[in-house]
Amino acid sequence: MQHYFAKKIQKGQLPIGSYLPSEHEICEQFGTTRTTVRRALDELLKAGFIEKEKGRGSRIVEWRKSLGLLTVKGFSESLNQRKKTVVLQEPIMSSWNEGSPFPFTKKEQLAKAAYFQRLRFVNDKAIMLEHNWYSLDQLPILKTKDFVDGSFFKTLSQRFLIEIKGTEQELRAEKASPTVAKHLNISEGSPILHISLRFTTSRPGLHLYSEVYCNTNKYPITNRYFL
């Protein structure tokens, strides 16, 4: 039962902010007991798909909000800002990032990676340069034009029923290299935030790797990152 509702949420058939049917209605729909329904709702709650609202029922929430990921405030959250993503490199077959601080599994080392690169803008100001890799033995090469709402995470969720379960992060304050400075339109050597990430997913063996360079002078970092 929980898998039935989880898939509907993942596919967007039950939108964020809407409510699940009442316990009584679910009992009638599945021909089961209220104890079984409550157990299923508890599993959805633990998994982060719903939250309980007293007197209103089970409200569907943004699954990734509870994961403690990173984002740039103003880019993913602010409706009053003009946001834009420019694809600098469409996904292609590539070698893995040798500079990653996270060890690759033996299976990943034997497989080729898919790599893509994007530049994020807020109010026409470049604020985030990102490099991304994933294993081609787990997913095919995906075209960015086919990303759901421009989001790689949403594409994984709605097309492949794969969710992000957590992340490992390494943050470093660095001086902008010539390449990073050029993309972010800042002076070479300017201070930037370099974030290395390895995302774990609900598909065993599938990790996503990112190297993100952020100009945080105007847009600070909050606790969510949407790839």
| 83/77 Cα distance (integer angstroms) | 10
Q: Give yes or no for a contact between 196 and 100, defined as CB atoms under 8 angstroms apart.
A: yes
Percentage, residues of the chain above pLDDT 90? 44
**Positions of E strands within 75-190:** 83-94, 113-122, 125-135, 164-175
The whole-angstrom separation of Cα 91 and Cα 152 is 11
Q: Is 40 helix (H, G, I), strand (E, B) or coil?
A: helix
Over residues 66-87, the mean pLDDT reads 55
Summarised one tens digit per residue, pLDDT across range 21-67 is: 998 898 988 888 989 889 888 888 877 788 888 888 898 886 544 33
Q: 68 pLDDT exceeds 50?
A: no
Lowest mean pLDDT among 53-57, 143-147, 186-190, 222-226: 222-226
Dist CA 224 CA 67 (whole Å): 8
127-136 per-residue burial string, b: 16 or more CB within 10 A, e: under 16? bbbbbbbbbb
The residue-averaged pLDDT of 203-209 equals 94
Burial environment of residue 70 by CB neighbours within 10 A (0 to 12, 13 to 18, 19 or more): buried
Tokens of 82: 């003009």
